[in-house]
Structure 1
Amino acid sequence: MGTFVAVPSRRELTELFQMKELLEGAAARLPAFRGNVPELATLEANMRAADDAVRDGDTDRYASLVHEFHDLIVSGADNGKLEAHYRTLMYQLAYARLVRTSLSRPGRLNASDSEHHRVLGLIAAKDGDGAERVMREHVRLSHQALMAGIDERRGEELL
């Protein structure tokens, strides 16, 4: 017997992304209200590396940086319960496999990078409402790109 990863159904993906939107929206909101956010410098370094990956067309590197960016936002929320729920969600989502499908959509690489810049700018500006709104929009757009990529690859494995 081997190990396998169950691929979530379309409905499960939608439900998981709805939860991702809620958790990451809250996670983006919270650091904007914190005084000193030590993750901010790391997020800025992540964005510089992401910009380089986009410029070079390195989707694999960018996908790794996307995961790191979202993890940093969640850890920057400084809320252990939110982080625990987020980790469970990401495990259920098997996000590392799915992000590449989302990023394969035409224009999504540049759009995702731009959306990350907007979220980070709002956090730095201490605009929690704006950071939450833009992060939620970013997750919705990622979900839409993912579903379009799945439809395009129907019948193929997501790996």
Structure 2
Amino acid sequence: MNNQIQQKSWFSRNWPWVVPVGGCLTLIILFFVFLGSVIFGVSEIMTNSDPYNDALAKVKEDSYVVGILGEPIEKDGMMQGNISYTNGKGKVNIAVPIKGPKGEAKIYVVGKKEFDEWDYQEMYVIIKETNEQIDLLGYENQKTEDTNDEEW
């Protein structure tokens, strides 16, 4: 008589450790996918904002900055700071790293939004190599300022 012993499959022999490890790995992967999508979503919202786009446009129009950094000037990393909107009013305080073929810099933007229009108190570039600060607003921001400005 031939007695053959049927061997169990790989999964039936190893399920006590495969199921918990596979479940944990799945949860870890889902967490990182979620985290990445949140970071990408917030970054996308901020890069589509008016202050961000206005600052990049001002930099690309400024011949002095273009002369220092070269063309094309493009974003170089994650934007830092905050932008808030509430009931038609808003505040912005951001720093945007930029680069060109000749160098790197950072754009700083501070402003307020009222009645669907941004009023920038500060918009300047600091060149990384020389720490030179270049005002992008020029005489445009020489308005009479209220002495009762709110604290941020």
TM superposition score normalised by structure 1: 0.27
More helix by share: 1
Query: Which protein shows a greater Rg?
Result: 2
More strand by share: 2
Structure number with greater CO (CA < 8 Å, separation at least 6) is 1
